[in-house]
Copies of this chain bind each other. A is one copy, B any other.
Amino acid sequence: MEGTGKLGQGFEHSDENAARVPVHQQVYAQLRDAVLFGELAPGQAVTIQGLIERTGAGMTPIREAIRRLTSEGALEFRGNRRVVVPMLTADAIDDLIFLRETVESRLAEHAAEKITATDIAALEKIDSQVDEAITRGDVSAYLRQNYAFHAKLYAVANAPILMDVANSVWLRFGPSMRVVCGRMGTQNLPDNHKTALDALKAKNAQATANAMREDVVQGMEQIRAALRDGTAFSETID
């Protein structure tokens, strides 16, 4: 009688043509977003039991989702069977900046070579929503729309392996990014998307790569600076 059905939303059409999404994928997507957009703080514990109650799903699909996210760097195995949202160290953020710079600029090059007018229109629409979120000061919307912009660019690049790496990087800095934005608001956030869009329209791969690299570095430096302050991620668990 699991009347709550906390996971049932999204395909209530009662039509049979609705593509069936397995529960483990739903749990995965839900948890992934929670990490990516900072609904779970760095250091926060994630328990199987807690997710069973939170989602109403069974044990097996939840385990699968957790394993998957652990592989992707969104969660971390903290020894005693405890799974937590990882906290960034100074060394880790350096590596993340390096990775995102190199991978994202290569993806940008690929995207510039393959982009169509439809893609550009989609990117411009997303970017306008980024702007709107910034002026509104809506941190959550900014994080989601900004990710949507980059994700769309990855999709255009059509390089699944590089995209996997990029997404893993996002999952690793996402929680800290949220903490930083929560403190600073949306004013100082980077948005070099216009420059990138101009380069994309001109199909200039190198210029696109440079614009995206600039965007990436500016955003990541905010996190690094906050990490240096030390006050940023002090939610130590034990």
Q: Does A21 contact B (CB under 8 A)?
A: no
Partner of A67, one of B68, B162, B168: B68
**Which residues in chain A, 89-148, are within 8 Å of chain B measured between CB atoms?**
91-92, 95-96, 98-99, 102-103, 106
A91, A161, A172: which has the most chain B beta carbons within 10 Å? A161
How many residues of A sit at the interface, in one of the four size bands? Answer: 20 to 34
Pick from A69-77, A183-191, A216-224, A225-233 the stretch touching chain B: A69-77
In chain B, what residue has the closest Cβ to A107? B95
- Interface code A31-64, partner B: CB below 8 Å = 1, 0 otherwise? 0000000000000000000000000000110011
A91 contacts B162, C-beta separation under 8 Å? no
User: What 9 A-B pairs come out closest when comparing CB atoms?
Assistant: A71-B71, A64-B67, A67-B68, A68-B71, A95-B161, A67-B67, A102-B102, A60-B60, A95-B162
Report if A165 contacts B (CB, 8 A).
yes
Question: Would you give the shortest CB distance from A213 to chain B, in whole angstroms?
Answer: 14
Q: Is the CB of A159 within 8 A of B91?
A: yes
> From A172, which residue of chain B is reached at the shortest CB distance?
B161
B residues near A158, Cβ cutoff 8 Å? 91
| Contact in complex: A161, B71 (CB < 8 Å) | no
Picked from B24, B60, B92, B165, the residue with its CB within 8 Å of the CB of A165 is: B165
Complex A-B: 5 CB contacts under 8 Å: A63-B63, A67-B67, A73-B161, A99-B165, A164-B168
